[in-house]
């Protein structure tokens, strides 16, 4: 069964966006993430901020990049739900870590946080509906 056939076979909330809409949202968010996180990584590398400031961003990126392999590769819906909760929590952690140093970076995470909050609600619903 292809990934798309498998995904379409899952019970999903009626308000789940189409895969093309989800892709578009990520195409908008990824440049924001790359620029803002990249800026913090450069500043941490240059020791202009404590390196621990970058830790939540690293954890976030790892969890974010693992989501699709877990969800679509392993097709592990419960583990994907755990992963997206980690992504969501690390956005909050990132904002608190970065705010004292670069408020614009923290503010740039607002659209990312809003989308991941929605995506988390969708993923938790999918997990519940397909348990």
Q: Which position has the token pair 């790359």?
A: 34
pLDDT at 37: 98
pLDDT of residue 59: 98
Nearest residue to 36 (alpha-carbon basis) of 101, 127, 115: 101
Amino acid 110: pLDDT: 98
Nearest C-alpha neighbor of 10 from the set 64, 80, 62, 69: 80
- Residue 115: pLDDT band by 50, 70, 90 thresholds? very high
As a whole number, the mean pLDDT across the chain is: 97
Banded model confidence at residue 117, pLDDT cuts 50, 70, 90: very high
Where are the chain's structural domains? Answer: 18-129
pLDDT in tens, 8-55: 999 999 999 999 999 999 999 999 999 999 999 999 999 999 999 999
At residue 83 the predicted structure's pLDDT band, cuts being 50, 70 and 90, is very high
Spatial distance between the Cα atoms of 8 and 87, rounded to a whole number of angstroms? 24
Global confidence as pTM = 0.95
3-state secondary structure of 10: coil
According to the model, what pLDDT value does residue 43 have? 98
pLDDT: is 122 or 131 the higher one? 122
């Amino acid at each position: 069964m292809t990934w798309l056939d498998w995904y379409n076979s899952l019970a999903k909330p009626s308000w789940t966006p189409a895969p093309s809409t989800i892709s578009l949202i990520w195409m908008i968010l990824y440049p924001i993430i790359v620029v803002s996180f990249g800026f913090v990584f450069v500043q941490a590398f240059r020791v202009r901020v404590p390196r621990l400031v970058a830790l939540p961003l690293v954890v976030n990126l790892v969890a974010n990049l693992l989501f699709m392999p877990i969800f679509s590769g392993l097709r592990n819906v419960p583990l994907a739900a755990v992963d997206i909760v980690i992504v969501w929590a690390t956005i909050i952690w990132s904002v608190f870590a970065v705010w004292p140093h670069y408020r614009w970076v923290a503010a740039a995470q607002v659209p990312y946080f809003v989308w991941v909050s929605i995506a988390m609600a969708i993923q938790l619903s999918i997990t519940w509906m397909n348990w």
